[in-house]
Amino acid sequence: MDTLTNKQQVLSFYKQIIGQRKAELIPEFVREDYIQHNPTVKQGRAGITDVINYLKTLPPPPEDAKSPIIRAIQEGDLVITHLDISFMGKRMAVIDLFKLKDGMLAEHWDAIQTLPDQSGEAITATNGTSEIDIHVSTTESKHVVEEFYKAIVEKKPAENFIHEDYVEHDLSAIQSGKNLFDYLNTNPDRSIKLHRIIGEGNFVTVQSEFKRDGKGYVFYEIFKVTDHQIAEHWSVEQAIPDGVEADAMF
């Protein structure tokens, strides 16, 4: 029997545990010492069990329902998923980050952002390229994003990092009317702290935190790299709850 990749294991977890609500399978997917960085969910298997038991009280999703998972990115023992979810009358973009150990989920981080209805719009917060080009060097893609952020921190010109066919999916960046570099760099109160850069082929995810008007935020970005330049960008941001230490969410 072939061993599942970490990405396949995470996708199977979504399908069987979250989608089909098979709480009895949690011990097969989740380590007993599972670490949860979402402050609203209990630690260990108990937190996931509570979530599934709550989902069981709701109407099940239609059998032909479209999967909410838009993208899945794996580097080593880390797996990123980007989801577009409709739940309780709200539309939300979610980025989950899982760390696996010996093929089982060992740690989890996330961010959730409520989205407006974008029906009929050509560009939305989650659509666009979803297929990863595994023939592109992950190392080179990560280097492009790392150098882009270095330019932001050092306040150096970054125009050469942006592809001529660049597509922006970040609603706040679009509404600001600024390019990505200026949007991330021009708010004097927006101090960015990078935590992780994770890549697979031409896709790179950045986990970071920033402050806006004195309030801390968890910030995840996904970049598509084309010809050594950033060609597409998505993001999910979530305010760090009052009373929660920022480090606990990273």
Q: Tell me: the pLDDT tens digits for 157-176?
A: 888 999 999 999 998 899 88
**Which pLDDT value is given to residue 33?**
96
Cβ atoms 159, 101 nearer than 8 A: no
Which candidate, 108, 79, 48, 80, places its Cα nearest to that of 235?
A: 80
List b or e across 47-82, with b for residues whose CB sees 16 or more CB atoms inside 10 angstroms: bbbebbeebeeeeebeeeeeebbbbbbbbeebbbbb
Domains of the chain: 138-249 (3.10.450.50)
Give the tokens for residue 8: 């396949």
Cβ atoms 11, 19 nearer than 8 A: no
Question: Which residue's structure tokens are 């696996």?
Answer: 100
**Which pLDDT value is given to residue 60?**
79
| Cα distance between residue 32 and residue 105, in whole Å | 9
Q: Where are the beta strands (DSSP E) in the chain?
A: 30-36, 69-75, 78-87, 90-101, 104-115, 162-168, 192-200, 203-212, 215-226, 229-239
| Average pLDDT per 10 consecutive residues for the chain, totaling 250 residues | 79 94 96 96 96 89 85 97 90 97 96 93 95 97 95 84 95 87 69 91 96 89 97 96 91
**Which pLDDT value is given to residue 180?**
85
pTM (2 d.p.): 0.93
**Which pLDDT value is given to residue 220?**
97
| Cα distance between residue 181 and residue 241, in whole Å | 27
**Which pLDDT value is given to residue 1?**
37
| Cα distance between residue 110 and residue 36, in whole Å | 9
**Which pLDDT value is given to residue 137?**
97
Cβ atoms 91, 61 nearer than 8 A: no
Cβ atoms 95, 88 nearer than 8 A: no
Counting DSSP H helices and E strands in the chain, the numbers are 6, 10
Using a 10 angstrom Cβ sphere, with 0-12 exposed, 13-18 middle and 19 or more buried, the burial of residue 104 is middle
| Cα distance between residue 55 and residue 175, in whole Å | 35
**Which pLDDT value is given to residue 157?**
83
Q: Which residues are within 8 A (CB) of 204 and not within 5 positions of it... i.e. 6 or more apart? A: 141, 142, 144, 145, 197, 198, 222, 223, 225
